[in-house]
């Protein structure tokens, strides 16, 4: 069913010469997203935006067909030329140097409003002078800015190839800064991201936290003896320190998710650590609700999984940096540790076991601050203000 509030905004936009919907830049409002090659927090935001604006076509660098069938089968979904490159979907990282040209290739001349959902390239679309471009920014492009040195270190390449890639990153960094200047209005997904938008792009922004479907998660009557963590298994998520801590503590830890770092992590883990792989939503709800605590060892821009755990009444033990500082109430809905090391995490887990008892109802109540309807109302209100001011 269409959202009546957002539909009214859609109707208020000035008439477009070629109607609504369709390819080739037709319509009043368009949604732009980096790519649909994985299912993460940014994709959940896109799904929420698509629900708010059911007539808006979606533009993206590339998409997995199964993702399209699952979430957008009734929508117009336009991909860039990278979609047709050899292994353009499975190995899309190969084509990062082509992505600026790919995102700029979309013809958006006849839209009155474009709303980009960007962690990297989507903010670089080229809109007409009369078109308003609002960017919902999940992060400043990490591997170009604060994560660039760590990104290079983690690449399984020799020094020669790393030097070549470093030069390419420098070129992309210049493009990324120029792309940010094309945005009319920035929305940050957290105060943490807001600060980085100001630091790296020199732009102001407002904060609207991402939507979390807290209604899907419920408190369990009975807790099991295990701890849980999970997400996309990549090096920057620092699941390695969780594994080292639980190896030393010899406490049960369950890890859900898939990713390029899985094999390395499995080699590190002892028998008390179980890898669940990719799990469905029903199993995820059950595992989160019955866990003693959710382990959050990484620095995230926001961190939806930590909210989902709290929505299950499960406290979070988290690294005291990034989005966790905004979403977890220390000693009320979880514990924050200050150094990103297995020793600090192990100490926090021991303190959790010995000294703390958390009320699941209060933990869940904190998660309700990030409900989907709150996100919808704030997004619609903000876009209403922008479009109204433009008409004045």
Is residue 245 within 8 A of residue 345, CB to CB? The reply is: yes
pTM: predicted TM-score of the whole model, two decimal places: 0.86
Q: Do domains 4-211+371-391 and 214-369 have the same CATH topology?
A: yes
Is residue 144 within 8 A of residue 124, CB to CB? The reply is: no
**Which whole-number Å values give the CA distances from 286 to 102, 223, 233, 312, in the listed order?**
41, 10, 21, 9
Q: What is the pLDDT of residues 63-105, one digit of tens each?
A: 999 988 888 888 899 999 999 999 889 888 889 899 999 999 9
Cα(95)–Cα(88) distance, rounded to whole angstroms?
7
Q: Which residues pair with 115 in a beta bridge?
A: 31, 134
Paired tokens of 60? 């993206």
Q: Which of 143, 321, 347, 167 lies closest to 235 in space, CA to CA?
A: 143
Q: Using the 8-state DSSP alphabet, how is residue 143 labeled?
A: G
Q: Which of 203, 187, 179, 201 lies closest to 134 in space, CA to CA?
A: 187
**Phi-psi sector, 135: left (phi>0), alpha (psi -120 to 50), beta:** beta
Paired tokens of 28? 């009043």
Helices (H), 92-201: 99-104, 148-154, 159-180, 191-196
- pLDDT of the chain, 392 residues: tens digit per residue: 334 444 444 554 443 333 333 333 344 999 999 999 888 889 999 999 999 999 999 999 999 999 888 888 888 999 999 999 998 898 888 898 999 999 999 999 989 999 999 999 999 999 999 999 999 999 998 878 786 667 666 666 667 666 777 788 889 999 999 999 999 999 999 999 999 999 999 999 999 999 999 999 999 989 999 999 999 898 989 999 999 999 999 999 999 999 889 999 999 999 999 999 999 999 999 999 999 999 999 999 999 999 999 999 999 999 999 999 999 999 999 999 999 999 999 999 999 999 989 999 999 999 999 999 999 999 999 999 998 877 65
- Residue 385 CB-density burial (10 A; 0-12 exposed, 13-18 middle, 19+ buried): exposed
Helices (H), the chain: 4-12, 41-52, 65-71, 99-104, 148-154, 159-180, 191-196, 239-249, 262-268, 281-290, 304-311, 324-327, 342-355, 360-367, 372-391
Using DSSP's 3-state secondary structure scheme, residue 11 falls into helix
Q: What are phi and psi of 59, to 5 degrees?
A: -115, 135
What does CATH list as the number for 4-211+371-391? 3.40.50.2000
Q: What are phi and psi of 286, to 5 degrees?
A: -65, -50
Quickly tell me which residue has 């010899």 as its tokens: 250
Name residues whose C-beta falls within 8 Å of residue 381's C-beta, 6 or more positions apart in sequence.
Answer: none
The yes/no answer on whether domain 214-369 falls in CATH 3.40.50.2000 is: yes
Using DSSP's 3-state secondary structure scheme, residue 325 falls into helix
- DSSP letters of 158-178? -HHHHHHHHHHHHHHHHHHHH
C-alpha atoms less than 13 angstroms from C-alpha of 291 in its C-beta half-sphere: 29
Domain boundaries, the chain: 4-211+371-391, 214-369
Q: What is the pLDDT of residues 157-213, one digit of tens each?
A: 667 666 777 788 889 999 999 999 999 999 999 999 999 999 999 999 999 999 999
């Amino acid at each position: 069913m269409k959202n009546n509030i957002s539909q009214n905004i859609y109707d208020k936009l000035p008439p477009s010469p070629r109607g609504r919907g369709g390819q080739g830049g037709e319509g009043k409002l368009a949604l732009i997203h980096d790519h649909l090659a994985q299912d993460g927090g940014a994709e959940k935001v896109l799904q929420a935006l698509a629900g708010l604006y059911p007539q808006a076509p979606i533009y993206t660098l590339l998409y997995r067909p199964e993702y399209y069938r699952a979430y957008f089968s009734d929508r117009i979904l336009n991909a860039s030329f990278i979609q047709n490159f050899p292994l353009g979907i499975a190995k899309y990282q190969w084509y990062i140097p082509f992505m600026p040209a790919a995102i700029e290739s979309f013809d958006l001349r006849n839209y009155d409003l474009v709303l980009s959902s960007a962690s990297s390239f989507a903010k670089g679309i080229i809109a007409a002078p009369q078109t308003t471009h609002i960017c919902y920014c999940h992060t400043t492009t990490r591997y170009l800015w604060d994560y660039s040195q760590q990104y290079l270190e983690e690449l399984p390449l020799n020094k020669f190839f790393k030097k070549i890639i470093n030069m390419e990153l420098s070129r992309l960094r210049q493009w990324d800064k120029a792309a940010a200047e094309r945005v009319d209005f920035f929305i940050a997904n957290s105060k943490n991201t807001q600060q980085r938008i100001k630091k790296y792009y020199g732009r102001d922004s407002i904060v609207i936290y991402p939507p979390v479907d807290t209604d899907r998660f419920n408190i369990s009557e009975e807790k099991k003896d295990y701890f849980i963590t999970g997400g996309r298994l990549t090096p920057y998520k620092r699941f390695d320190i969780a594994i080292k801590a639980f190896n030393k503590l010899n406490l049960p830890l369950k890890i859900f998710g898939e990713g390029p770092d899985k094999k390395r992590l499995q080699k590190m883990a002892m028998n008390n650590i179980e890898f669940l792989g990719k799990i469905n939503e029903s199993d995820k709800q059950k595992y989160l609700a019955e866990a003693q605590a959710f382990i959050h060892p990484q620095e995230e821009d926001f961190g939806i999984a930590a909210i989902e755990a709290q929505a299950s009444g499960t406290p979070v033990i988290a690294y005291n940096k990034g989005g966790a500082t905004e979403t977890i109430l220390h000693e009320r809905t979880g514990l924050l540790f200050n150094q990103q090391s297995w020793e600090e995490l192990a100490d926090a887990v021991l303190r959790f076991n010995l000294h703390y008892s958390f009320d699941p109802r209060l933990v869940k109540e904190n998660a309700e601050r990030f409900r989907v309807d709150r996100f919808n109302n704030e997004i619609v209100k903000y876009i209403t203000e922008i479009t109204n001011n433009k008409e004045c």
